[in-house]
Amino acid sequence: MSDAATGGGRNGVLLPFLWKLAKLVLQVALTFLGLLVVTFLIGRVVPVDPVLAVIGDRAPQSVYDRVYVELGLDRPIYEQFWIYLQKVLTGDFGQSFLTKRDIVDDIRRVFPATLELATVAILIGTLVGIPVGVLAAVRQGKFTDQVVRVLGLIGYSAPIFWLGLLGLLVFYARLQWVAGPGRIDISYEYAITPKTGLLLLDSAMQGQWDAFRNVFSHIILPASLLGYFSMAYISRMTRSFMLNELAQEYVITARVKGVPEWRIIWVHALRNAAVPLVTVVALSYASLLEGSVLTETVFAWPGLGQYLTNSLQNADMNAVLGGTLVIGVIFVGLNLLSDLLYNLLDPRVRRQT
């Protein structure tokens, strides 16, 4: 607070900015707290007895009572929440009943796989989606626009797990263009020493080009599939932002001045459309986490999504709630990031603060 005060004395812009930042931080903190309340409450309504999950159903009553107290189940609910809060904030989500390891370790182990898949997917989605959206805006109402619209509609309507299965059937089983489920063939699995956990990066850094090719052949199908879904969204938004920009007066001015049309589209207009697009890309990156649950199941991809579904099917509630919370936190984080980027990039928003 004293920081803000001195900052305000020196520079009239800083104080409102810090005030806004403080409000944002408070808002995010409240959202995190809300996430915790939701996962905590979900954990309470589960029909699975948490004590039995720990000790099994053959243990004597005395053991049951002891574990009951150890788990804090005899205390009032707000006290239980307080304990839960402290544990989660120190990174303790409890133990997985399935893998017998700390859930934080489990998540740390599976997360790079999801991150790698989502990153390749968003690269595909952005690199294809933006040009396609621009094209659709330029040819508004023409054939190209219709094709883009239909492609987008298919992306909005097809179940991702079904397209994944069809993809495996066609490109893996029939045409044999790509490798099958999983991240890497077993024969290459120990050729790479894991450093970052991102296999493409690891194999490239170690010069293992055979392994790199293998990893690439595994990732390309699920990543294109996820990328297609984010492309559907990104191209639709690009189209509407570009239509908005192309109707502005500076575009007319540029035309009158004789600026070539490609320059008006790809440099002048796209640059202005890029600001809201950053938000769109960040949001689709976040929603890839959601798509990954089903995609990872179909492609046997050992990531967070598969971990979550495995835990679900085995009623491993600690792991489910831990995974849900982590995904929620990443989601909120990416939303926040896109907000901040928007503030940073758009001079109009910046001036208002």
Partner 1 sequence: MTTTRREWLLTDRPASRRQARLGQSYRTWLTFRSNWLAMVGLGIVLALILIAIFADAIAPYNPVLGGDLRTERFLPPFTGNHYFGTDDLARDIFSRIIYGSRLTLMVVVLVAVIATPIGLLVGTTSGYFGGWVDTILMRVTDIFLAFPRLILALAFVAALGPGIENAIIAIAITSWPPYARLARAETLTIRDTDYINAARLQGASHTRILWGHITPLCLSSVIIRVTLDMAGIILTAAGLGFLGLGAQPPQPEWGAMIAAGRRFLIDQWWVATMPGIAIFVVSLGFNLLGDGLRDVLDPKARK
Check residue 39 for interaction with partner 1 (CB under 8 A). yes
7, 8, 31, 139: residue in contact with partner 1 (rule CB under 8 A): 31
Give the whole-angstrom CA distance, residue 217 versus residue 192: 16
List C-alpha distances in Å: 46 to 42, 244, 317: 7, 49, 8
Check residue 98 for interaction with partner 1 (CB under 8 A). no
Q: Is 174 exposed, middle or buried (0-12, 13-18, 19+ CB in 10 A)?
A: exposed
Check residue 22 for interaction with partner 1 (CB under 8 A). no
Check residue 158 for interaction with partner 1 (CB under 8 A). yes
Residue pair 227/221 in contact (Cβ under 8 Å)? The answer is: no
Helix, strand or coil, per DSSP, at residue 95:
strand
9, 16, 34, 182: residue in contact with partner 1 (rule CB under 8 A): 34
Using CB under 8 A as the binding rule, the residues of this chain from 236 to 295 that contact partner 1 are 243, 286-287, 289-290, 293-294
Give the whole-angstrom CA distance, residue 47 versus residue 199: 39
Check residue 14 for interaction with partner 1 (CB under 8 A). no
Check residue 175 for interaction with partner 1 (CB under 8 A). no
Minimum separation from the CB atom of position 294 to partner 1 (A): 5
Check residue 182 for interaction with partner 1 (CB under 8 A). no
Of the candidates 341, 321, 343, the one whose C-alpha atom is nearest the C-alpha of residue 333 is: 341
Check residue 230 for interaction with partner 1 (CB under 8 A). no
Check residue 227 for interaction with partner 1 (CB under 8 A). no
| C-alpha dihedral, 345 to 346 to 349 to 353, nearest 10° | 30
Single out the segment in contact with partner 1 by CB under 8 A; choices: 78-86, 90-98, 135-143, 306-314.
Answer: 306-314
Check residue 159 for interaction with partner 1 (CB under 8 A). yes
Check residue 162 for interaction with partner 1 (CB under 8 A). yes
Check residue 165 for interaction with partner 1 (CB under 8 A). yes
Which amino acid does the sequence have at 304? L
Give the whole-angstrom CA distance, residue 214 versus residue 204: 12
